[in-house]
Structure 1
Amino acid sequence: MLDVLIPHFNDAEALDLSLRSVAAQTWRGKVRVIVVDDGSPSDELRRAEAIISSCDLDIELIKQPENRGRPATRNTLLSASDARFIAWLDAGDTWYEKKLETQFNTLYKQVYDGQDLSRIWVTCNYDWQWVGGRRRKVTQTTSGDQLKHLYVGDRLRAYLWTLLGTREAFNLVSGFDERLPRLQDLDYFISFVRGGGRLISAESSDALCCYFKSDVGRNAQEIRDCYETIFSKHGPSLNRFGVKFVRRAKAKADFVAARFAKNNRTPLVSLGFRMHAFGMDPRYTLYRAKKSLRNG
């Protein structure tokens, strides 16, 4: 049995989109969807309830009376799950129809090869679509040093909705850090790998899901503060890569925060993050500037 875990807050249409993609899966095993509503306003909660009641899926709705934030909601979802397998999906993102079938086939091959599924997550390539923009495929690379790749975030990215694994594998980490309003996925992935977990790639080069991305309304300083909390929390594992790598990772975090600030029309804040990145790693900052000029 598979539990699909979906956090929801104040966007019934997004929830409907995600549920439709679960219903369209070609994998025909037993599926239960657990939705935790994180204190949505009453009118939006009623819309979500109507969508759930009309959906041809086994769905359990858990209502939190007040908004507790994404990491607390994810912890509620984990506590509510008792299936052997778990997959995640954020309301508003979608799976393509062969995602579960492809990932389960990958897991079954691991069983055949004698691997311990209690320490394995299967990730997959995905499409990234900015609101109003074109989709582009992003490849997840699980070879090499996974911790190093997670800290930089260029070859391996920490998105829960790319994953399939056993409940034991997801409980290898002691829950989501509720201090992190953002980037709790990254912290969770790092904790998993530090705890002896391993990510493997689905046996398909195709994108198996789609992430709909928008920075609008996201606080850039909050993003940067969450990065700093993660860097501090996981300091020993980060520092083993050396001072140059740490400075590069922190400069990359500045650029992410700068992007959020720019897209939320606070150019001076964005400039401040870029200047801080230059002080942290001038070569990386110049590389990013040249890349930006080439891309127009």
Structure 2
Amino acid sequence: MTKAAPFSAEDRQGESALVSVIMPAWCAAPWLERAVLSVRNQTRTDWELFIVDDASTDDTAAIATRLARDDPRIRLLAQPRRSGAAQARNRAISQAAGRYIAFLDADDCWLPEKLETQIAFMERVGAGLSYTGFWRARGEKRREVAVPESVDHAALLRGNIIGCLTAVYDRERLGTRLMPDLPLRQDYALWLEILRELPRAHGLTTPLAVHHATPGSLSSRRLRAAAATWQVYRREGLGRGAASLCLGRHLLRRLARG
């Protein structure tokens, strides 16, 4: 399990951030500023942003340093060696002050009203875990990725509909939740863990983020991604037959979503 100590508002120790944004970055120099600007442009301003440089070999650290210098809400954490997205995210989560934990990768971005709309939605429905629709962009082309209004553990096993760039969880409901240390699909594994405890996650069907399909990104390596999904199913305790069935459904869903 990846559950750490319980969290309460008092743990913030006077910090003004309600939302902690977690952004791992590895060789993200071409896109990092776009992602950070989408956070800085949020209509809700009570956030902090952790950029975790995962031992990049390009100008990621220099760009992040400049961005952090320009906005005191931005913090740069540097990994001494490349450790992967799960460890990078977990380092930031462990230092976060906010009640809500939100995720954004360095090559994606949010629409300006994302945090304001989603946090208000979570407060209204009492959601411990929420997600939204998003756009998938390939160059100049965009395609909307639709999501259901809610999902439970059984439905999520049939395919991950929670885009990491849209997910937010409530630490007052769940405590501090770290991502399983998997090379891929660690976000999917975390959502499944959470939904063993919550009856469902709640979704906003409005697209509030943009996933940019980046050549060479981890998610574009399809065979590795399928193998990682299989590992998640086995980690959930599924036998080979059940895992094979879920993986088939998962791949069909991803094909349908483009």
Q: Alignment RMSD, CA only?
A: 2.8
Match of 1:251 among 230, 243, 248: 248
Structure number with the higher strand fraction is 2
| Runs of 5+ unmatched residues, structure 2 | 1-17
State the distance in 1 between where 2:251 and 2:168 align.
Answer: 31
Q: Percent sequence identity over matched residues? A: 23
Residue 52 of structure 2 corresponds to which residue in structure 1? 36
Structure-1-length-normalised TM-score: 0.70
Aligned letter for 1:45? A
| Contact 1:82/1:167 (8 A) holds in 2 | no
Judging changes above 3 Å, is the alpha-carbon distance between structure 1 residues 217 and 129 closer, same or farther for their aligned structure 2 residues? Answer: closer
| Contact 2:110/2:209 (8 A) holds in 1 | yes
| Contact 1:34/1:62 (8 A) holds in 2 | yes
Structure-2-length-normalised TM-score: 0.80
Q: How does 1:89-238 map to 2 (within 5 A)?
A: 89-110=104-125, 115=126, 120-130=128-138, 132=139, 134-143=141-150, 146-153=152-159, 157-169=161-173, 171=175, 173=177, 175-178=178-181, 180-196=182-198, 198-202=200-204, 205-214=205-214, 216=216, 218=218, 219-236=221-238
- Deviation, 1:49, is 1.6
State the distance in 2 between where 1:168 and 1:88 align.
Answer: 17
Residue 278 of structure 1 corresponds to which residue in structure 2? none
- Deviation, 1:172, is 6.1
Task: Indicate the SS of the match to 1:235.
Answer: coil
| Contact 1:38/1:63 (8 A) holds in 2 | yes
State the distance in 2 between where 1:170 and 1:17 align.
Answer: 31
- Deviation, 1:105, is 1.6
Q: Does residue 62 of structure 2 align to residue 50 of structure 1?
A: no
Cα shift readout 1:245-296 (whole Å, capped 9, x = no counterpart): 654322245679xx9xxxxxxxxxxxxxxxxxxxxxxxxxxxx8xx8xxx9x
- Deviation, 1:100, is 1.0
State the distance in 2 between where 1:168 and 1:11 align.
Answer: 32
Could you list the runs of 4 or more consecutive aligned residues of structure 1 that deviate by over 6 angstroms after TM superposition?
Answer: none
Q: How does 1:71-86 map to 2 (within 5 A)?
A: 71-86=86-101
Aligned letter for 2:162? A
| Contact 1:23/1:57 (8 A) holds in 2 | no
Q: Higher relative contact order by CA 8 Å / sep ≥ 6: 1 or 2?
A: 2
Task: Indicate the SS of the match to 2:82.
Answer: coil
Task: Indicate the SS of the match to 2:53.
Answer: strand
Cα shift readout 1:45-100 (whole Å, capped 9, x = no counterpart): 2233223323x451111111110011111111111112222211111111101111
Task: Indicate the SS of the match to 2:195.
Answer: helix
Structure number with the higher helix fraction is 1
State the distance in 2 between where 1:168 and 1:222 align.
Answer: 35
State the distance in 2 between where 1:13 and 1:52 align.
Answer: 17
| Runs of 5+ unmatched residues, structure 1 | 260-287
State the distance in 1 between where 2:202 and 2:252 align.
Answer: 28
Aligned letter for 1:164? V
Larger Rg: 1
State the distance in 2 between where 1:33 and 1:135 align.
Answer: 26
- Deviation, 1:169, is 4.4
How many aligned positions are there? 238
| Contact 2:24/2:105 (8 A) holds in 1 | yes
